Structure 1
Amino acid sequence: MFSKLKSFFAPARPRANEPDSRLSALQHAVAALLVEAARADARYEAAEKALIDEALARQFGLSPAEAAALRAEAEAAQSEALDIHRYTKIAKTMSAADRIRLVEHLWRIILSDRERDPYEDALMRRLCGLIYVSDQESGAARRRVEAALSQG
């Protein structure tokens, strides 16, 4: 009986489909946040999936197939998640430069359809607050993305 009680309080062992390292957990968290941003306006299109794959490949040095697989895992996890806090808790451990790079990727996905949606804006304000990126830094990241998009 004591062993059952002890096992209840012991840290859970990772399951086969759960990330088992800090890098893997970070990759899954970032991927889930990118998927959340793409789905914020209730339209999740192939172009946004491609941007997510590109962002994951660039951020983590993944092959296109690895990035697509990570995105697919994140889509499933994000659709079952009750909130984004478990992902932002991990993402806020990134360096300041990496968090700003993440915000740029999020803005690139959000602005890819050339429309700003109130849900997307609200999500970005919430995400930035949770990962400790200021409104000024987020605004600067958005302007850089808008400038890049306008140049083609």
Structure 2
Amino acid sequence: MTMFDALQRLFTASEDRESAARGMKPATAAAALMVEAALADGVFAREESEQIVRLLRRGFDLDEDAARATLQTAEGLVSRAVDHHQFTRVVKDLPKEERLQVMEDLWAVVLSDEERTHEEDSLLRRLGPLLAITDRERAEARQRAEARRH
């Protein structure tokens, strides 16, 4: 493969990802970010999976089957994703209040397995600006998620 072929494949793959992101539903993009948050510590615990289903049902008004199907789709997307930008671009188009809810939901997933790691904190710290959420808003979302647990 020549350098030109390699570059052409790279740009074509990038265009395909952008096309897929344009057609992605906000629930799927949010679910993918939740899967990434769950995987940040290297373990996708059953508690995290069940929490994602609950959050999708509540936040996106999905029934049980639709929430589980959305989670399954998100898992597949995350397994093939090069980065999380294709997901954050979709969520960033949501109104601020909904983006803040997604951030709170990300924290709820991270906290659902009773372990909070540096990797999880780091991921959510990186996602904040990509979702146009300030550090303060991210911290407040974490506090709301912690309060909901108790």
TM-score computed with the length of structure 1 as normaliser:
0.82
Whether the 8 Å CA contact 1:19–1:28 is kept in 2: the answer is no
Counterpart of 1:3 in structure 2 is: none
After TM superposition, give the deviation of residue 20 of structure 1 in Å: 8.1
Q: CA RMSD in A?
A: 2.1
> 1-side partners of 2:132 and 2:82: how far apart?
21
1:107 aligned counterpart, secondary structure:
helix
Gaps of 5+ in 2: 1-14
Deviation (angstroms), 1:97: 0.4
For the 8 Å contact 2:21–2:89, the answer to whether it is kept is no
Cα contact 2:45–2:113 (8 A) shared by 1: no
In structure 2, how many angstroms separate the alpha carbons of the residues matched to 1:28 and 1:116? 24
Structure 2 residue aligned with 1:128: 128
Q: Distance in 2 between matches of 1:141 and 1:60?
A: 18
Partner of 1:7: none
Query: 1:111-122 alignment to 2 at 5 Å?
Result: 111-122=111-122
How far 1:19 moved relative to its partner? 8.0
Equivalence for 1:54 = 54
Structure-1 residue corresponding to 2:86:
86
Letter in 1 for 2:43: R
Q: 2:108, 2:145 → 1: CA distance?
A: 6
Q: Which amino acid aligns with 1:119?
A: E
For 1:12-64, what per-residue CA distance to the aligned partner results, in whole angstroms no more than 9, with x for missing partners? 8xx9xx6885xx52222111111111111011011111111111111211110
How many pairs does the alignment contain? 135
Which ranges of structure 1 fall in alignment gaps of 5 or more residues? Answer: 1-10
1:97 aligns with 2:97: yes
SS in 1 for 2:27: helix
Q: CA–CA distance in 2 between the matches of 1:25 and 1:148?
A: 26
Higher helix share: 2
- Counterpart residue number, 1:45: 45
